[in-house]
Structure 1
Amino acid sequence: MISRSEKVEQFRILHKSGCFLVPNPWDVAGAQMMVGLGFGALATTSSGYAFSRGKRDGAREVSRDESLAYAAEIATASHVPVTADFEDCYEDTPGGIAETVRLAAEAGLAGLSIEDRRPDPDQPIREFDDAVARVAAAAKAARRYDIVLTARADGIGKGVYDVEEAVRRLRAFEALGAEVLYVPGVPDLVSLERICRSVSSPVNHVLGQGVSGLTFDQISKAGVRRISLGGSLARAAGGALLGICQEIARGDFTALETAPSWNRLRSPDSAT
């Protein structure tokens, strides 16, 4: 049995060992499938989980307790480190944010993230000082409970600020002790390179938002240390389900007849 402290150390080692992939399961079966395929770490997906529950992401329709329960299930079912997408930590005060970090550690997680987003579609991004104060509270608690904190600057993806402002925020987050930095929605490879050069801490790049068509090598050479899939994997799976259901509605059952067995799904072979 691998302890949480060992998973935390494994997670830190992965970030020091070059660029690696982190898929984002939204249920235990998916998590076990991904571990079986050889992925060395997992991350939860707030958007994928919210969709699976018929709720909206980023609006606090999924509660902190629900997210913690989901993340704990993934962590318990996996022998690899798991980091949780905890949106804005589901709290408005420094004490509440610190409590989220404590609960994440108690749930067996190796890491968690905090965003500068707010659950308000009219003002989706927090002001600089507010964002920095919240990351300060999260970073202090992360040191206390020994958990890897990822700090996100989400304004590019939301069309609120540019790359320069994202870099300003990342540098502030890094100075406060965030171990991993993250900018969803980076528009192009040049910007990604600029972000990675601007900080010394590992940078996470998410697929499915912003620039598309990049290879693993291009992303790695840009300076990225961690590549996550975010909600794009859940959307791809949802798209496949939609297509199959549309075929069934037309009376075509081919997809069901060629579906893999339960054993194949439970025990995937990374070589095939």
Structure 2
Amino acid sequence: MTNYGTALRERLEQDELLACPGVHDPLTAAVADSVGFDAIYMTGYGTSLSKTGYPDAGFITMPEMIENAGNIQERIDVPLIADSDNGYGNATNVVRTVREYIKAGVAAIHIEDQTFPKRCGHTKGRQVIPREEAIGKIEAAADVRDERNPDFTLIARTDARGTGDGSLEEAIDRVNAFLEAGADIAFVEGPTDEAELERIGREVDGPLVYNFVGDLGSSPYVELSSLEEWGFDLVLFPIAATLSTIANVYADFETFADDPVAAMRDIDDAFNDQPVGSLHEFSGFPEVVEWERKYLPEDEQEKYDDSLGDDLESD
């Protein structure tokens, strides 16, 4: 069994900035994996929206998030970094949360210091728990990591910058304390401009994440070369697949509403232009056929004789 935590740590040790596209389910993850990335990120916002239909406002539960993360990691061949919100409770709840994510096989998670219910890190109204309590949650997470899988990567996030009276100084002090408590990587959510990013790079004593949310949030568009120069090690594009899915499905269905047959032809053409093979190939049907040949009785193979449908064998 692949230890994706080890693979991620080896990649992070390289000098080059690691850029991770965000996905919200195994399907979008499989697409990202087909394109080719060194690691992939599971968004909390997109997971909540795709699984429950509700926004990232504390509506999704720990089992739903972990189930999604495990299914995504099973489908892809590269490490998965997963959102684990605020750990779904206090420090004792964090113990189980981290154990369950490790059992799911993912490479890394990030835990934030928001109150419950939490909300998207780029919306108004966020609040954070006291610093001492937040440190205790990171200590609990680090202890579980050390006991269960030392290569599992723990990313500690603060949303202190985005609270009503939040300051960048408080956010930096928090993530430095989280690193001292055992976190592997620091994550300051919501810096408002490049000057703040540069300051984070100077004053945070450890590896750094930047959350590249684009027009959805308050953080700036910035060149990856600048992030690298300022000392960032990992950049997440959390809602890339979610926004792409909404925008492209809307555009296709708008055409579909006027002329379903023409729209279906356009959708087929667009799909066939991609280098992923047929839908059956992309989804893994050839592998299923191989399993059947290997494990089922010979008379079970007769169902293929003279039957109609696509040839499901691999080329």
TM-score (norm 1): 0.87
C-alpha deviation, 1:28, in angstroms: 1.2
Alignment partner, residue 138 of structure 2 = 135
1:4-54 deviations in Å (ceiling 9; x for gaps) = 2xx212211222212111112111121122122220011211100111121
Matches within 5 A, 1:1-272: 2-4=1-3, 7-17=4-14, 18-53=16-51, 54-59=53-58, 61-92=59-90, 94-120=91-117, 124-146=127-149, 147-208=152-213, 209-249=217-257, 256-259=264-267, 260-261=270-271, 264=274, 266=276
Q: Distance in 2 between matches of 1:228 and 1:218?
A: 15
- Could you tell me which amino acid in structure 2 is paired with residue 239 of structure 1? A
State percent identity of aligned pairs: 23
Greater Cα radius of gyration, structure 1 or 2:
2
Of residues 224-233 and 161-170 in structure 1, the stretch that sits farther from structure 2 once superposed is: 224-233
1:125, 1:160 within 8 Å by CA — same for their partners in 2?
no
Question: Partner of 2:81: helix, strand, or coil?
Answer: strand
Q: Which has the higher contact order (CA 8 A, sep 6+)?
A: 1
Question: Partner of 1:177: helix, strand, or coil?
Answer: coil
Q: Distance in 2 between matches of 1:254 and 1:189?
A: 46
Q: Distance in 2 between matches of 1:255 and 1:97?
A: 47
1:130-188 deviations in Å (ceiling 9; x for gaps) = 21111111122122222110000112244551211110001100001100111221111
Distance 1:258 1:181, change over 3 A: same
Q: Distance in 1 between matches of 2:94 and 2:274?
A: 41
Q: Distance in 2 between matches of 1:118 and 1:169?
A: 15
Q: Distance in 2 between matches of 1:266 and 1:95?
A: 44
Question: Partner of 2:137: helix, strand, or coil?
Answer: helix
Question: Partner of 2:274: helix, strand, or coil?
Answer: helix
- Could you tell me which amino acid in structure 1 is paired with residue 146 of structure 2? R
Unaligned 5+ residue runs, structure 1? none
Distance 1:245 1:116, change over 3 A: same
Higher helix proportion, which one? 2
Question: Partner of 2:110: helix, strand, or coil?
Answer: strand
C-alpha deviation, 1:125, in angstroms: 1.6
C-alpha deviation, 1:100, in angstroms: 0.9
- Could you tell me which amino acid in structure 1 is paired with residue 8 of structure 2? F
Q: Distance in 1 between matches of 2:164 and 2:145?
A: 29
Of residues 140-149 and 63-72 in structure 1, the stretch that sits farther from structure 2 once superposed is: 140-149
2:21, 2:240 within 8 Å by CA — same for their partners in 1?
no
1:90, 1:97 within 8 Å by CA — same for their partners in 2?
yes
Question: Partner of 1:50: helix, strand, or coil?
Answer: helix
Q: Distance in 2 between matches of 1:68 and 1:14?
A: 23
Distance 1:123 1:216, change over 3 A: closer
Q: Distance in 2 between matches of 1:84 and 1:167?
A: 22
Aligned residues: 263
Of residues 227-236 and 183-192 in structure 1, the stretch that sits farther from structure 2 once superposed is: 227-236
Q: Distance in 1 between matches of 2:113 and 2:83?
A: 13
Alignment partner, residue 299 of structure 2 = none
**Superposition RMSD in Å:** 2.3
